A and B are shown apart, each in its own frame.
Chain A
Amino acid sequence: MAIDETTVRKVARLARIALPEARVPAMAKEISGILSWIEQLNEVDVEGVEPMTSAVEGAALPMRQDVVTDGDNPQRVLANAPKAEDGFFVVPKVVE
């Protein structure tokens, strides 16, 4: 299926990637090319087939005790922060 430029703009917004207007037509073309190649999956009979959601056969996710195992180290948490102050991340204003 071809995807149009409006859809590309919408998807870029959803993905939180600023897509320059000049890139939109090329991106629509590239993604359409990939999606039309993917279309062949429609040939497969998947009637009654369960979706595969895990590569680990039959294994249930293990449960663990609901206890604190790590933490109490704000210096390490903030070590790579683009901006930090007084033990906090500094982020752009969220609420006006």
Chain B
Amino acid sequence: MTDLTALSLIAALDGLAKKTFSSEELTNAFLDAIDKANPHLNAYVVVTHDKARAMAKASDARRAKKGAALGALEGAPLGIKDLFCTEGVRTTACSNILGEFTPTYESSVTANLWREGAVMLGKLNMDEFAMGSSNETSRFGPVANPWRRGKDNSNLTPGGSSGGSAAATAANLCLAATATDTGGSIRQPAAFTGTVGIKPTYGRCSRWGIVAFASSLDQAGPIAKTVEDAALMLRSMCGHDPKDSTSLPLAVPDFVKACGRSVKGLTIGVPEEYRVDGMPGEIDALWAQGVAWLQAAGAKIKSISLPHTKYALPCYYIIAPAEASSNLARYDGMRYGARVSGKDLLSSYEATRASGFGAEVQRRVLIGTYVLSAGYYDAYYLRAQKVRTRIAEDFRTAFADVDAILTPATPSAAFAIGERGDDPVQMYLNDIFTVTANLAGLPGISVPAALDSRGLPLGLQVIGRALDEETVFAVAAALEKAAGFNAKPDAWWR
């Protein structure tokens, strides 16, 4: 029998529909693959063997019953980022401060997936509280990227913060995975692992039950093997939820159908400001190749200007830590999580938070506290919010003339674990091309498009108008088709 774990989500659903295999067989194939690979890749932090088998059996029973309603993801085994609360399954955001926290409720996004018949394989590794670009800040240790530099056996990072989601998808340890993106945490790991990742428009996915990092920037989205798989996943994840006041009360379009739209006649913007110093020539060349592919598919290309691009990352590193310091104030060790007792209440708080938060989280909470503190609020936080308006205006101006924007997804290919440890700002620069879409609330997708000279995947990013994921998917599908990217990493972890 063929390797079931190598199927795309859509191909697997087709096999399930045709009864070529059952969800139980498919699920067991994934569980076996995870058990073999996880000691090497560290992509999963919890594997829910029993729950997965029970959900798969229930799905098979629904399929066997004549006339039973079937979901859009009926029987499909998925991985869930550890930022999503899952009822009865430990959820820690990969932080020590959450201890053995086991939610008594289910996040809205994952509840949507189970409603559509999907099967949960387990919880995926990530940077602590989604703060990181390399998965190195996880309490459970880093994830290894399935991809390596040619014959070099050293482990690379899969990017972050959704590194477990990206690595598991790339290594066939799930059909697709949930992820979240605050500054690039879906798109950068997707680019580093040869997978597809989309962050939808802010408000498309409910944030209810997702551990909060920076609430005005956080959005959930999928990491998948193909553009169509990502479209199918996203459609199931989205939808209005009264429990999140920023969730949009809008119908969810048929994103899969949009993948089949022609790009003929569309105008694609190419922003000059994304040509940054020190960017490898290969990435510049891939970008030019992407332009040529879209032109060949009938799109018009227009050079555009997004003048405030260089201010996006510094702006983000005020807004995100400010919101994080406020959101993370809830971790006091009193109602849940790991408590460290001190001599009185205040010292208990301080000891709990000092031992529970890792170095990067502490750094960001302190920066956030500082920029919100009396005397500095106007100079830092208020100014950053105004710069954010400028960044959003840049896009509004550009989208008067173009239908979508094409950029590289990341300024480099995957780097080695420990390679960028010393200077936090160097690590932050990973998100230089992705963070703008978060600040402006726009949809952005990363599509694998080529391998670099060392055999590592590189991605292109498509950014769209607010609520126009359909055009984003159409352009992404055109890029995918033109690129014909079908490289897979050597399965060294088996």
A94 to nearest B CB, angstroms?
Answer: 5
**Interface pair B366/A15, CB less than 8 Å apart:** yes
Determine the chain B residues whose CB is within 8 A of the CB of A53 once the complex forms.
216, 385
**Interface pair B370/A56, CB less than 8 Å apart:** no
Residue A59 at the chain B interface, CB threshold 8 Å:
yes
Looking at the complex, which one of B203, B311, B369, B382 makes contact with A55 (CB distance below 8 Å)? B203
Determine the chain A residues whose CB is within 8 A of the CB of B245 once the complex forms.
61-62
**Interface pair B347/A18, CB less than 8 Å apart:** yes
Determine chain A's interface SS by DSSP, over half rule. loop
Looking at the complex, which one of A11, A44, A61, A79 makes contact with B366 (CB distance below 8 Å)? A11
CB-nearest residue of chain A relative to B338? Answer: A82
Also in contact, A41 and B383, with CB within 8 A (given A57-B441, A91-B345): yes
B455 to nearest A CB, angstroms?
Answer: 33
A61 to nearest B CB, angstroms?
Answer: 5
Determine the chain B residues whose CB is within 8 A of the CB of A55 once the complex forms.
202-203, 216-217, 246, 438-441
Determine the chain B residues whose CB is within 8 A of the CB of A93 once the complex forms.
344-345
- Taking CB atoms and an 8 Å cut-off, the chain A residues in 21-50 that contact chain B are 27, 30-31, 33-35, 37-44, 46, 49-50
Tell me the complex Cα distance, A15–B249, Å. Answer: 36
Determine the chain A residues whose CB is within 8 A of the CB of B466 once the complex forms.
57
Residue A17 at the chain B interface, CB threshold 8 Å:
yes
Looking at the complex, which one of B101, B370, B440 makes contact with A80 (CB distance below 8 Å)? B101
**Interface pair A16/B332, CB less than 8 Å apart:** yes
- Taking CB atoms and an 8 Å cut-off, the chain B residues in 407-445 that contact chain A are 423-425, 438-441
Tell me the complex Cα distance, A83–B369, Å. Answer: 29
Determine the chain A residues whose CB is within 8 A of the CB of B342 once the complex forms.
92
**Interface pair B441/A41, CB less than 8 Å apart:** no
Q: Which of A49, A64, A81, A83 has the most CB of B within 10 A?
A: A49
B92 to nearest A CB, angstroms?
Answer: 11
**Interface pair B314/A19, CB less than 8 Å apart:** no
Determine the chain B residues whose CB is within 8 A of the CB of A37 once the complex forms.
314, 317, 425
A38 to nearest B CB, angstroms?
Answer: 4
B98 to nearest A CB, angstroms?
Answer: 9
Determine the chain B residues whose CB is within 8 A of the CB of A15 once the complex forms.
325, 353, 365-366, 369
Determine the chain A residues whose CB is within 8 A of the CB of B329 once the complex forms.
16
Tell me the complex Cα distance, A35–B318, Å. Answer: 9
Looking at the complex, which one of B248, B310, B383 makes contact with A56 (CB distance below 8 Å)? B248
Determine the chain A residues whose CB is within 8 A of the CB of B315 once the complex forms.
41
Residue A52 at the chain B interface, CB threshold 8 Å:
yes
**Interface pair A89/B334, CB less than 8 Å apart:** yes
**Interface pair A17/B366, CB less than 8 Å apart:** yes
Looking at the complex, which one of B335, B344, B423 makes contact with A33 (CB distance below 8 Å)? B423
**Interface pair A82/B339, CB less than 8 Å apart:** yes
Determine the chain A residues whose CB is within 8 A of the CB of B325 once the complex forms.
15
**Interface pair A11/B370, CB less than 8 Å apart:** yes
Determine the chain B residues whose CB is within 8 A of the CB of A12 once the complex forms.
366
Determine the chain B residues whose CB is within 8 A of the CB of A31 once the complex forms.
363, 366-367, 370
Residue A7 at the chain B interface, CB threshold 8 Å:
yes
- Extra contacts besides A3-B370, A52-B392 (20): CB < 8 Å: A7-B370, A11-B373, A12-B366, A15-B325, A15-B365, A16-B349, A17-B350, A18-B353, A18-B354, A19-B362, A34-B363, A41-B383, A46-B390, A55-B438, A56-B246, A59-B246, A80-B101, A80-B102, A80-B104, A81-B336
